[in-house]
Amino acid sequence: MSMKKIRMALPGFAIATAFLFSFKTSPAPSIKGKVTPAHYAVHAWAITQSDTLYTTIDDGSFEFPNAKPGVYRIVIEAKSPYRHMAKDNIVVKSGEETDVELALQKY
Question: Could you give the number of structural domains in the chain?
Answer: 1
Q: What pLDDT sits at residue 16?
A: 66
What is the spatial distance between Cα 106 and Cα 104, in angstroms, rounded to a whole number?
Answer: 7
Q: What domain range includes position 46?
A: 26-103
Decide if 63 is inside a domain: yes
Decide if 65 is inside a domain: yes
Decide if 76 is inside a domain: yes
Per-residue pLDDT tens over the stretch 52-89? 999 999 999 999 998 999 999 999 999 999 999 999 99
In this prediction the pTM is: 0.75
Decide if 13 is inside a domain: no
